[in-house]
Amino acid sequence: MRIGILTIMLVVFLACSDNQEVDCSLSDLELIVSGNENADCNEGAMITLEANGGEGPYLYRFDGSPFQDLTEFNGIPLGGPFLAEVKDANGCEVTLEVAVSGDENTVSFSASTAVAGCGSADGSIEVTASGGDDSYQYRLENGEFGSDTSFSGLESGIYQVSVKDGTGCINVKGIKVLSGISYENSVEPIIIGSCATTGCHVSGTGRVNLTVFENVQSNAESIKTRVLNGSMPKDDKLTDAEIEAIVCWIDDGALNN
């Protein structure tokens, strides 16, 4: 009899001591970034991160470093975007993209792109530099610096482009080349024809209504995972070309195009 009573008491204690999960979508956690303007080209920027809301203590990281309680990160080069992140005691996270700029006399650049096509390598990047010493040189990824301002034969993806002026000051940016797949022309017909069908992803079924673009966009990563593993659509099978089109569109950023 005592064993039974003790067992019940133990179960109640364990149940009451379980931590409740926190809905991070309701958290007021925010991240403030400073120190990313007018940076010295040679020394780089000192980035300061500050968190508000959520529940402390906070952990920070910058550009892929481990989470730590440090709030200052030194020697950040010009350009970006870099990722600044904070995580609170509840495990909730906030991420911001941060660009580092020099003063008005520091080298900078803009870039225009041409789409690559889905599964093709027809993309290109054209760079226009300004500021600093105008003896500019250009580099794609880890290649050699040279005088060419354009890079072609690119697949869709993000490429690191660097511009160096005559003083050796370097500005680096991540430039995204899109596949150019259109939601309206290529992806929506697949969704409507194979996924948003009677009894499946339509209104009134209890499932996400994929006839609404915003629902497709907000569930894009889940859709990508499921079409790649073959679990979506439920009662149909997509062709390789259809799967590739959906994945290309999502990798482009699930644009309303």
Residue-wise pLDDT for 134-183, tens only, equals: 899 999 999 999 999 999 999 999 999 999 999 999 999 999 999 999 99
Mean pLDDT for the chain?
89
Does residue 23 carry a pLDDT above 90? no
Q: Are 140 and 160 in contact (CB under 8 A)?
A: yes
Does residue 202 carry a pLDDT above 90? no
DSSP character at residue 253: T
- The CA distance from 30 to 179, in Å, is 33
DSSP 208-228: --TTSHHHHHHTHHHHHHHHH
Read off the pLDDT of residues 62-115 as tens digits, 9 standing for 90 and up. Answer: 998 999 999 999 999 999 999 999 999 999 999 999 999 998 789 999 999 999
The owner of tokens 């364990």 is: 14
Residue 22: strand, helix, or coil: coil
CATH 2.60.40.1080 is held by the domain 108-177: yes
Average confidence (pLDDT) over 208-227: 93
Read off the pLDDT of residues 1-21 as tens digits, 9 standing for 90 and up. Answer: 344 433 333 333 333 334 457
Q: Where are the domains of the chain?
A: 24-100, 108-177, 183-251
Q: Tokens standing for 243?
A: 């799967």
24-100 against 108-177: fold identical:
yes
CATH 1.10.287 is held by the domain 24-100: no
Average confidence (pLDDT) over 222-237: 89
Percent of the chain scoring above 90 in pLDDT: 74
Give the pLDDT score at 42. 84
Read off the pLDDT of residues 179-201 as tens digits, 9 standing for 90 and up. Answer: 999 999 999 999 998 888 878 88
The owner of tokens 């079924």 is: 205
Cα diameter, the chain: 89
DSSP character at residue 74: E
Give the pLDDT score at 62. 95
Does residue 56 carry a pLDDT above 90? yes
Average confidence (pLDDT) over 224-251: 92
Average confidence (pLDDT) over 241-248: 96
Which pairing describes strands 170-177 and 78-87: parallel, antiparallel, or unpaired? parallel
Q: Are 164 and 137 in contact (CB under 8 A)?
A: yes
5 versus 254: the higher-pLDDT residue is 254
pTM: 0.76
